[in-house]
Amino acid sequence: MAAIFQGVGAAPALSSLPSNSFDSKNILFSPRRSFSVRKAPSFVVVRSDGTMNLDLNPKGRRAQQFIANAVATKEDSSAASSSSKPGHELLLFEALREGLEEEMERDPRVCVMGEDVGHYGGSYKVTKGLATKFGDLRVLDTPIAENSFTGMGIGAAMTGLRPVVEGMNMGFLLLAFNQISNNCGMLHYTSGGQFTIPIVIRGPGGVGRQLGAEHSQRLESYFQSVPGIQMVACSTPYNAKGLMKAALRSENPVILFEHVLLYNLKERIPDEDYICNLEEAEMVRPGEHVTILTYSRMRYHVMQAAKTLVNKGYDPEVIDIRSLKPFDLYTIGNSVKKTHRVLIVEECMRTGGIGASLTAAITENFHDYLDAPIICLSSQDVPTPYAGRLEEWTVVQPAQIVTAVEQLCQ
């Protein structure tokens, strides 16, 4: 009964989408692997509470609306009310840095290694300032040799340290696949429990802004079949920090996926210490008619589509699964039992992707509760094109999500 339908509706050109739709070209840092001096650019700050600020100069900002939490019955909160809330505002990459810095202060065993993570601060500035604070031995710059420094990190974890290995781009970690699959995930088992591997492997991935096929990889589908590894994907500053801290405290190897287009997402997070459960999904929007399961950047495409769906009379329930391995089948199952319809939206590749595994898990555990076949919207099974318009057409767009929900609810 659980069949996957490929591409419901043709992907529309972005010009046909609403003017406030998510423009991936506006929120990207430079992907260069170099030490070139950069000028202070203008950049877009996207807030999780629904506003988008374009920084043209340090004195003035022009706010535009960005639909992130699409609830038709509520108005977006103003900047004034947001500033009065407790906590502090951080961009997503700053939240990752804060979580890492707090754990390095709390536990002297935590260390960082990777290309340009030291005084350069990392390719996306997640480790900026940490080398000055903690020294070059705890924030270690490595050569461009992913297989070597990933293996070094695994060995460090075996001896009792808690290393964070940064891949400058997730696609580069394919060079370390042997270390991750044959050692990182298996040594605890093959040693008869004599070793634990408390390592965090993290870095940017996903389809960015014309980065080309090799730099637009979605490696979650590659690593999901490796036994012994946990995988999580952050999507907001709040869960980015909470997942980072939880991963560093875990005794298991954890791969933390970050999306290149979400680093400038801004949100107010608590001042007090907190962590997020590594095996728990997040209920983004409660609903009654259909369960939409998504993660990472697609969370925002789904919430844009939810705005349209609510106006059309549909009540979608949106869940950010966050834990890519293992799945939170408790949260997912309760939603399926309530709505009886499932739509999966992912940026991962269609064949052998997270959506395919999720479809199999739902079919196996909740088949009797389904009133319609599962629909899975995924990226096209092609290398990501460099041309901007073609790149956009390979990724699921909000209009496709609306069409799929309408088909499910017929």
Q: Which residues are catalytically annotated?
A: 146, 215
Cβ atoms < 10 Å from Cβ of 180? 27
Going by C-alpha positions, the residue among 305, 315, 221, 297 that lies closest to residue 9 is 305
DSSP helix/strand/coil, 302: helix
Task: Give the separation between CA 259 and CA 351, rounded to whole angstroms.
Answer: 20
Going by C-alpha positions, the residue among 176, 180, 166 that lies closest to residue 113 is 166
DSSP helix/strand/coil, 110: strand
Cα-based distances in Å from 154 to 141, 195, 223, 276, 286: 16, 11, 16, 24, 40
Say which amino acid occupies 155. Answer: G
Give the CB-side neighbour count of residue 24, counting CA atoms within 13 A. Answer: 22
- Residues 351, 383 contacting (CB under 8 angstroms): no
Instruction: Say which residues have a Cβ less than 8 Å from residue 322's Cβ, sequence separation at least 6.
Output: 232, 233, 234, 235, 239, 243, 276, 280, 281, 282, 295, 328
Helix, strand, coil content of the chain in percent (nearest 5): 35, 20, 45
- Residues 323, 279 contacting (CB under 8 angstroms): yes
Q: Which helix (H) or strand (E) holds 232?
A: strand 230-233
* Cα three-residue angle 398-404-407, rounded to 5 degrees: 145
Cα-based distances in Å from 333 to 43, 51, 356: 40, 33, 16
Positive or negative torsion for Cα 124, 126, 130, 131:
negative
φ/ψ of 344, rounded to 5, equals -110, 130
